[in-house]
Amino acid sequence: MRAFYIRRYGGPEVLEEGELSSPPLGPRDVRITVHAASVNPVDWKIREGKLKVLVPYRFPLVLGNDCSGVVSEVGAEVKAFKPGDAVYTRLGKDRIGAFAEEAVAAEELVSPKPTRLSHAEAASLPLVALTAWQALTDVAQLKPGQTVLVHAGAGGVGSAAVQLAKHLGVKVISTASAKNVELVRGFGAETVVDYSAQRFEEVVRDVDAVLDGVGKDNVLRSFRCVRPGGIVISITDGPDLAFAREFGVSPVFWPVFWLLGAKANRAARRHGARYRYLFMRPDGAQLRHLTTLVEQGALRPHVDRVFPFSQTREALAYAESGKPRGKVVVQRVD
């Protein structure tokens, strides 16, 4: 199969295009002919080796974490899917490989593709929508009437989180640049703070939860916005000791994770709040629920640009530049 892969960690120059063997199919696996795949920040973090402590990848490693396509083959024990089914998925963390003609996923990670979406639109959703849903429901456990601050509401995770929070009956405050304020309001945010004109922590107070996908000092500043007992969730920076233990990281690396999360945990204690680093998990059952929300019109994709499969390198570079509003997708076929 044709694929984009790496043989070593590094910058954009390590990404190769070529022919590789198709991934093996287990008895409970689904083989997918990939029609489209989306680009996510985790793709270049993996390429650079930033996640090798968490997941021991083997080379050659095909990049790409979520995709949409058509089932071409199923394992002997698969019951939910058959060849010809249109599906989408967030691939297993140890079995990524969406930037290829074929991908293989465990049956329990796959969902029927929303009928109202194209493959390019569907491919843009699994990782960001699952991240947003898990942050809002599993971690923050938000209830109707509560308030959440969603940073970067025009981005992939942010746009999904704003829509899903609105669906849950949660009041949404978001941050965005001036050019994206109306866009984010259109997703359902009641208040949008133009971060280029105001410091969000000076105008936002007493929210129940904050979802941050910006990183750097954004997490620390966010503690000034959350009520006592509230929670700040990061999906970008600050994996801490609690996360390392939960994820099963070797104790040899625990001191490193303690340092990485030290500032955020100190800020949480100082403000009487909680801190959590979220590394989303693939979950087919949740993805099927999100599919229902898409079909109902409660969640819609936000795609900035679609590149042809042959321009996967350019798609990664564009996404990594920070310029896109929404998701970047590579498409093999319509």
pLDDT digits (tens, 9 = 90+) for 90-149: 999 999 999 999 999 999 999 999 999 999 999 999 999 999 999 999 999 999 999 999
Per residue in 218-276, pLDDT (tens digit) is: 999 999 999 999 999 999 989 999 999 999 999 999 999 999 999 999 999 999 999 99
Name the pTM for this structure. 0.96
Instruction: Report the mean per-residue pLDDT for the chain.
Output: 96
* Cis peptide bond prior to 60, omega within 30° of 0: yes
Q: Do 223 and 317 fall into the same domain?
A: no
Q: Do 134 and 264 fall into the same domain?
A: yes
Assign 333 a pLDDT band (cuts: 50, 70, 90): confident
Rounded alpha-carbon distances, angstroms, from residue 29 to 5, 199, 289: 22, 48, 21
Assign 334 a pLDDT band (cuts: 50, 70, 90): confident
- Residue 216 has a pLDDT of 85
Q: Do 235 and 260 fall into the same domain?
A: yes
Q: Do 134 and 120 fall into the same domain?
A: no
Per residue in 172-186, pLDDT (tens digit) is: 999 999 999 999 999
225: Cβ–Cβ under 8 A, 6 or more apart, which residues? 149, 200, 201, 204, 205, 206, 207, 210
Tokens representing 8 are 């070593």
Per residue in 263-308, pLDDT (tens digit) is: 999 999 999 999 999 999 999 999 999 999 999 999 999 999 999 9
Q: Do 117 and 148 fall into the same domain?
A: no
Q: Do 209 and 111 fall into the same domain?
A: no
Question: Could you tell me the residue range of the domain that residue 187 belongs to?
Answer: 127-277
For residue 228, give the DSSP letter.
Answer: E
Percent share of the chain, pLDDT over 70 = 100
Rounded alpha-carbon distances, angstroms, from residue 49 to 54, 94, 234, 236, 252: 10, 14, 20, 15, 18
Q: Do 111 and 168 fall into the same domain?
A: no
- CA-angle at 155, arms to 49 and 50, nearest 5°: 10
Q: Do 206 and 238 fall into the same domain?
A: yes
Q: How many angstroms separate the first and last alpha carbons of the chain?
A: 18
- Answer whether residue 79 is part of any domain: yes
Question: How many domains does the structure of the chain reveal?
Answer: 2
| 322 has pLDDT over 90 | no
Q: Do 264 and 315 fall into the same domain?
A: no
